[in-house]
Structure 1
Amino acid sequence: MNYQDILTKASKGLKNLKGNVIDVVEVKKPPTLDYARHLAKIVSKLSPLVGNMIEYHVCVELNKLDWGEVGSWKRQDPGFPDTVFEGNINPAPGIEIKTWFPLATEITARFKDSINHFKQNQTYVALLAWLPEFIIYGKPKIIDVWVDTAWSLAKARDAHYHRPPDYLIFEPENTSERAANLQQSNTNGYKFQGDAKAFQEAEKIVAAWGKEGKRYSPSRSYQKKLRQLRGKYPYRLDTNYAKIDRIGHQGVENFKTHVLDSVIHQHSLREWSKLIKDEEWKTMDWIKNLM
């Protein structure tokens, strides 16, 4: 069994988690409609806690699969990826776990890690959508799972954001000689802040890079060009960079649409989301049916 075999088997196991109820925390059934209204507005605040519990749950469930004497999965907290396979396998397979509460505005998880780390496709990303069993109360329930390579997300992110000279992506500095907790692995995005004249000048510089000059590359030579550009013109660090919901990955977009169109308790999640955001609560009978 090689690392790709392990990741393929783990991916199938993760997808089988769909429908699992995680018995770690429970929101009690609201006794009144007024309390249900209040609960609907704040239940998303459970996301950080539940997300952490799901990461732990995934590692436990992966170790229930038969790995023989090859090795076992171990959770890293902190660390990337969240779950790694420890054994005599090289490179070590890993799975980064991201969670999504579909009634929120968007998938807020970020993916900033450099594509340089995924040249062998040894790391996958799993996105697990969850809700309370009864929309606003109950135990956390995994309603769907999406898995793909970390390389594909990094590739989509870089292609989506990098638009020199308007927007630049920078690779992390070489910090391999630092202690493990001080090493850098994240890319960052920078937005042009100069005036129109400066932008035209910057465009000429980028044009001089040649036909492939606007195509992103993590290579040292290309990164040097980007640093020179940033050194000559004003740029600001983009604090909204690399949200998974915005990187333009087709697989993520398809998964998001599928989840929001899923019917749970007689209505699609898209409809439930609109209801919960409705200040006037014109469809309280939906909530009554849950109670």
Structure 2
Amino acid sequence: MHLKLIYQRSSMTYKEILELAGKHLESLVGSQMDVVDITKPPTLEYAEHLAKTVSKLSPLVGNMIEFKVCEELNTLDWKGLGEWKRQDPGFPDTIFDGKIEPQPGIEIKTWFPLATEITARFKDSINHFDQDQTHVALVAWLPEYIIYGKPVLIDVWVGSAKSLASARDSHYHRPPDYLVFEPEDTSSRTSNLQQTNTNGYKFQGDSSLLKKAEKDILSWGANGKVYEPTVEYQTKLKGLLGKYPYRLDTNFAKMDRIQHESMEEFKSKVLESKLHGHRIKEWAKLISDSKTNTIDLIKDLI
């Protein structure tokens, strides 16, 4: 259905609300986020220092952008059906609070592409997205002049949280070498104590133990290695965890490693984008390279 027709209606489905919200976020590409302003460096020496340290601002600015995005969503007319609100802590961090069921939500992740890798993680269980009622928005931003100025939205990717979780589980789960576990059932606990995250475990035994574990999995049937978030399948995985040595993988679920096709295309597009005479991936390499004379690269920016 055309977006204009949706706007004109007095009622919307949760999918239509997510569609409108996603399109609005995508329309913000190129706009400034008035959340902070990094002062123009007064000297080349200071500019060189700033180029090496500006990435340290990423967590702070990213968090402020997340709040700003929620405000932006509320600039649209939602026909009295509700409004977008932040919930911190909680998942997703932005929800549509109103009359719509199931409740639409958007998890907002930010990416500072001079760091190249998307460092944000996505660990939430696919069981939370049974009706595909949650989207993820990945917002790429940089200072207007690479190392100073207000944050500018370079690009925005919006996709289904369910598809992201599915890609993650399929990519990581390689039993018996690597196991993905669903969170325990904590529905009876208060909201702040409920567990929603999956975790990854890496096999730590020798080759002979790995072969024994492989034989155990053969007894599960032809689809034994296909990931399932069900209680029955998770019980089988716990059997392996109790029988063989594994370690918790602290790098599990980094978005840069999930290998979601659409998000990978987005990443490539952003890194190929050209700003102030260089592609973003070139800026990232030039600034991070200790052998580069950064002053010569940034003198035109100030």
- Same topology, TM > 0.5: yes
- Please list the CA deviations of residues 109-144 of structure 1 after superposition, one character each: whole Å capped at 9, or x if unmatched: 000000000010000000000000000001111110
- In 1: Cα distance, 2:248 partner to 2:221 partner: 26
Quick one: which of 24, 28, 39 aligns to 1:28? 39
Residue in 1 aligned with 2:138? 127
- In 1: Cα distance, 2:164 partner to 2:218 partner: 27
Residue in 2 aligned with 1:267? 278
Residue in 1 aligned with 2:5? none
- Please list the CA deviations of residues 243-276 of structure 1 after superposition, one character each: whole Å capped at 9, or x if unmatched: 0000110111100100000001111001101110
- In 2: Cα distance, 1:92 partner to 1:17 partner: 24
Report if the CA contact (8 A) 2:174-2:225 is conserved.
yes
Cα shift at 1:32: 1.4
Corresponding letter in the other structure for 1:90: E
The two structures have a TM-score, normalised by structure 2, of: 0.95
- In 1: Cα distance, 2:214 partner to 2:29 partner: 48
Corresponding letter in the other structure for 1:32: T
Quick one: which of 124, 129, 136 aligns to 1:113? 124
Corresponding letter in the other structure for 1:86: D
- In 1: Cα distance, 2:36 partner to 2:68 partner: 13
In structure 1, the gaps of 5 or more residues are none
Determine whether 1:286 maps to 2:302.
no
Cα shift at 1:30: 1.0
Map 1:186-225; keep pairs closer than 5 Å: 186-225=197-236
- In 1: Cα distance, 2:231 partner to 2:289 partner: 50
Map 1:134-153; keep pairs closer than 5 Å: 134-153=145-164
- Please list the CA deviations of residues 18-37 of structure 1 after superposition, one character each: whole Å capped at 9, or x if unmatched: 11211121111111111111
Residue in 2 aligned with 1:64? 75
- In 1: Cα distance, 2:195 partner to 2:69 partner: 26
Moved more, 276-285 or 58-67: 276-285
Residue in 2 aligned with 1:49? 60
Cα shift at 1:284: 3.6
Quick one: which of 13, 19, 44 aligns to 2:24? 13
Give the secondary structure class of the aligned counterpart of 1:81.
coil
- In 2: Cα distance, 1:280 partner to 1:170 partner: 43
Report if the CA contact (8 A) 2:48-2:294 is conserved.
no
Identity of aligned residues (%): 67
55 and 259 in structure 1: CA distance in 2 versus 1, 3 angstrom threshold: same
- In 2: Cα distance, 1:143 partner to 1:241 partner: 27
Map 1:236-275; keep pairs closer than 5 Å: 236-275=247-286
- In 2: Cα distance, 1:280 partner to 1:197 partner: 46
- Please list the CA deviations of residues 230-255 of structure 1 after superposition, one character each: whole Å capped at 9, or x if unmatched: 10001000000000000110111100
Residue in 2 aligned with 1:234? 245
Corresponding letter in the other structure for 2:159: D
- Please list the CA deviations of residues 77-112 of structure 1 after superposition, one character each: whole Å capped at 9, or x if unmatched: 111101000111110000000000000041000000
- In 2: Cα distance, 1:105 partner to 1:20 partner: 21
The two structures have a TM-score, normalised by structure 1, of: 0.98
Residue in 2 aligned with 1:162? 173
- In 1: Cα distance, 2:65 partner to 2:45 partner: 30
Give the secondary structure class of the aligned counterpart of 1:26.
coil
Give the secondary structure class of the aligned counterpart of 1:103.
helix
Residue in 1 aligned with 2:3? none
Report if the CA contact (8 A) 2:35-2:68 is conserved.
no
Quick one: which of 97, 111, 118 aligns to 1:100? 111
Cα shift at 1:161: 0.2
- In 2: Cα distance, 1:196 partner to 1:7 partner: 48
Residue in 2 aligned with 1:82? 93
- Runs of 4+ with deviation above 4 angstroms: none
- In 1: Cα distance, 2:26 partner to 2:34 partner: 19
- In 1: Cα distance, 2:25 partner to 2:192 partner: 29
Corresponding letter in the other structure for 2:21: A
Report if the CA contact (8 A) 2:109-2:138 is conserved.
yes
- In 1: Cα distance, 2:59 partner to 2:24 partner: 24
In structure 2, the gaps of 5 or more residues are 1-11
Give the secondary structure class of the aligned counterpart of 2:113.
coil
Give the secondary structure class of the aligned counterpart of 2:235.
helix
